[in-house]
Amino acid sequence: MKLVNQQLIKNTNLKQLYNSIYQNPGISRAQLAKDSHLSKTAVSSLVDELIATRFIYDSGTSGSTNVGRKPNSLMLKAEQYYVTVFFLEEQKLNAALVDITGASSFYVQMELLSPDGYAPKCREYVYDTVLQQIQKNQLLGICVVVPAMIDPDKQEIFATTLNLPEKDFVGEIQRTFPDFSVAILNDTACFAYAEKVYTQITEKDFAFINFGKGIGATLFIHNEMLGHACASYTQFGHYSINPKGKLCSCGNRGCLELMIGEDSLKERIARIGNSPALKNTDSITYADLGQSSVYGDVISRKVIHDIAYEFSLALCNLICIVHPKLIIIGGKGRDLGPLFLREIQKCLDTTGFRRMVDSVSVRYSQLDSGALYNGAMKYFFDIHYNFTQDMGGSFFIG
Ligand SMILES: [Zn+2]
């Protein structure tokens, strides 16, 4: 047990130093010791180990103008270690090879004919593309990201917006990469983690709500992601805002994602009346709606108001349960433009427990759709990667 504890502490310390260098490129050993509260000797030996394993390098003396010997500055070594991130969409497999410093990534999208093709295509990408460019030991892990709920107990994936192989897909992924460290993660959790790390969110309690084909939420409580990255604790998109509404594939009626998801827009607009700006569009997206509302289309503005109102009904209940101080709207929700944010804030002023709602701010995500890949890489590295163990064959859900 003692050895296990020592390794655990060592891994935590190595990770802390690595992330400090990430946040302060060019930092000195002395400053690292000060910031980490570790002894100078301990920092020196851990830094030597990170240099020997090529995670970081010593770039020589820094530009400090202090009198005396200038301290050496430490930098992350880019394009040395990578994580492969797969994102599964309906009949599409997106793959990215992401450098763990976040400095570079290589992205491709592949078409798929059937759900049975996901695992073989993932394998093909790793062996025929990734391992042709880098050595096996440079690939720290493989993340398979799904827009779905992953049940860590039953090892099952429940997807309402994606067709996956019916039998034991989780096991199939594990068997596909027996030599690598693999994690299956939820997409909204990856976006949320990227937002937290890369936009430096200071609120300890916040919610990230992802508008895509479905609607998902990830919550951070006291700086920790609630229920890991498997979306099995919160299914915000399946919060019912109308018990007499349409039947959802989850078994419930009037679920938020059914009521205000992108697929609901065409019907909503038809119900209110013809929009001259949108009459020639076959399927209507949030972006279409956002655009026409900017140019003053009355119907679009009304629909955005209605969506914001229904969204605020679910949101004020979420606020009553966990009281996040910040709500971030990501994914395609951003395409609804500034009006949607204003309307949500206005609706929240009239719905819910005022005392709690008043201290909540709402903003859009500051990152683009590529954040999913960097978020998955960073989550895997921060939460699962272990400097002191051979990770081959390890498997994580969330
Ligand atoms: Zn539902």
The whole-angstrom separation of Cα 378 and Cα 194 is 7
> Would you say 6 and 378 are in contact if contact means Cβ atoms under 8 Å apart?
no
Share of the chain above pLDDT 70, in %: 97
The whole-angstrom separation of Cα 212 and Cα 330 is 9
Domain 82-191+371-397, CATH among 3.30.420.40, 3.40.50.2300, 3.40.50.280, 3.10.20.30:
3.30.420.40
> Would you say 236 and 255 are in contact if contact means Cβ atoms under 8 Å apart?
no
- For ligand 1, the distance from its centroid to the CA atom of residue 230, given in whole angstroms, is 17
The whole-angstrom separation of Cα 9 and Cα 169 is 34
Q: Which residue has the higher pLDDT, 358 or 339?
A: 339
Is residue 66 pLDDT above 60, yes or no?
Answer: no
Which residues lie below 8 Å from residue 350, measured CB to CB, with a gap of 6+? none
- For ligand 1, the distance from its centroid to the CA atom of residue 257, given in whole angstroms, is 7
Backbone φ, ψ for residue 194 (5° rounding): -60, -45
- For ligand 1, the distance from its centroid to the CA atom of residue 329, given in whole angstroms, is 20
- For ligand 1, the distance from its centroid to the CA atom of residue 199, given in whole angstroms, is 31
Question: Quick one: average pLDDT of 218-222?
Answer: 97
Is residue 275 pLDDT above 90, yes or no?
Answer: no
Please state the length of the chain.
Answer: 398
Is residue 195 pLDDT above 90, yes or no?
Answer: yes
Confidence of residue 65 (pLDDT cuts 50, 70, 90): low
> Would you say 327 and 207 are in contact if contact means Cβ atoms under 8 Å apart?
yes
- For ligand 1, the distance from its centroid to the CA atom of residue 158, given in whole angstroms, is 12
- For ligand 1, the distance from its centroid to the CA atom of residue 250, given in whole angstroms, is 4
- For ligand 1, the distance from its centroid to the CA atom of residue 306, given in whole angstroms, is 19
pLDDT at 62: 59
pLDDT at 351: 83
- For ligand 1, the distance from its centroid to the CA atom of residue 65, given in whole angstroms, is 62
- For ligand 1, the distance from its centroid to the CA atom of residue 187, given in whole angstroms, is 18
- For ligand 1, the distance from its centroid to the CA atom of residue 254, given in whole angstroms, is 7
Question: Quick one: average pLDDT of 327-350?
Answer: 95
- For ligand 1, the distance from its centroid to the CA atom of residue 100, given in whole angstroms, is 36
- Where are the extended beta strands (E) located within 138-276? 139-146, 149-151, 156-158, 182-186, 206-211, 215-221, 224-225
- For ligand 1, the distance from its centroid to the CA atom of residue 253, given in whole angstroms, is 7
Cβ count within 10 A of residue 64: 13
pLDDT at 98: 97
- For ligand 1, the distance from its centroid to the CA atom of residue 46, given in whole angstroms, is 49
pLDDT at 74: 96
pLDDT at 69: 64
pLDDT at 205: 97
Which residues lie below 8 Å from residue 274, measured CB to CB, with a gap of 6+? 299
pLDDT at 302: 95
- 232-256 residue pLDDT tens: 888 899 999 999 999 998 899 999 9
Q: Please name the fold of domain 2-76.
A: Arc Repressor Mutant, subunit A (1.10.10)
Residue with tokens 């209110």: 272
Burial letters 328-347, b for 16+ CB under 10 A, else e: bbbbbbbbbbebbbebbbeb
Nearest to 320 by CA among 354, 271, 276: 354
Q: Three-state SS string across 79-146, please?
A: CCCEEEEEEEECCEEEEEEEECCCCCEEEEEEECCCHHHHHHHHHHHHHHHHHHHCCHHHEEEEEEEE
The whole-angstrom separation of Cα 366 and Cα 305 is 23
- For ligand 1, the distance from its centroid to the CA atom of residue 255, given in whole angstroms, is 5
- 81-140 residue pLDDT tens: 999 999 999 999 999 999 999 887 889 999 999 999 999 999 999 999 999 999 999 999
Could you tell me the pTM of the whole model?
0.93
- For ligand 1, the distance from its centroid to the CA atom of residue 152, given in whole angstroms, is 20
Measured torsion, CA atoms of residues 143, 146, 149, 155, in degrees rounded to the nearest 10: -50
- For ligand 1, the distance from its centroid to the CA atom of residue 246, given in whole angstroms, is 9
- 129-177 residue pLDDT tens: 999 999 999 999 999 999 999 999 999 999 888 899 988 999 999 999 9
Question: Quick one: average pLDDT of 207-213?
Answer: 93
CA 336 vs CA 166, 209, 216, 261: distances in Å: 35, 14, 17, 12
Question: Quick one: average pLDDT of 365-380?
Answer: 96
Is residue 67 pLDDT above 80, yes or no?
Answer: no
pLDDT at 63: 55
pLDDT at 344: 96
Annotated domain spans of the chain: 2-76, 82-191+371-397, 200-364
- For ligand 1, the distance from its centroid to the CA atom of residue 56, given in whole angstroms, is 47
> Would you say 145 and 87 are in contact if contact means Cβ atoms under 8 Å apart?
yes
| Mean per-residue pLDDT of the chain | 93
Backbone φ, ψ for residue 367 (5° rounding): -115, 165
Report the run of H or E that residue 310 belongs to, with start and end. helix 298-322
Question: Quick one: average pLDDT of 258-279?
Answer: 88
> 50-56: which pairs have CB atoms within 8 A and are 24 or more residues apart?
50/14, 50/17, 50/18, 53/387, 54/80, 54/81, 55/18, 55/80, 55/81, 56/18, 56/21
Residue range 200-364, CATH number: 3.30.420.40
Nearest to 180 by CA among 245, 222, 127: 127
Residue with tokens 């910031």: 35
- For ligand 1, the distance from its centroid to the CA atom of residue 348, given in whole angstroms, is 23
- 278-311 residue pLDDT tens: 887 788 999 999 999 999 999 999 999 999 999 9
Asked if the domains at 2-76 and 82-191+371-397 fall in one CATH topology, the answer is: no
> Would you say 142 and 148 are in contact if contact means Cβ atoms under 8 Å apart?
no
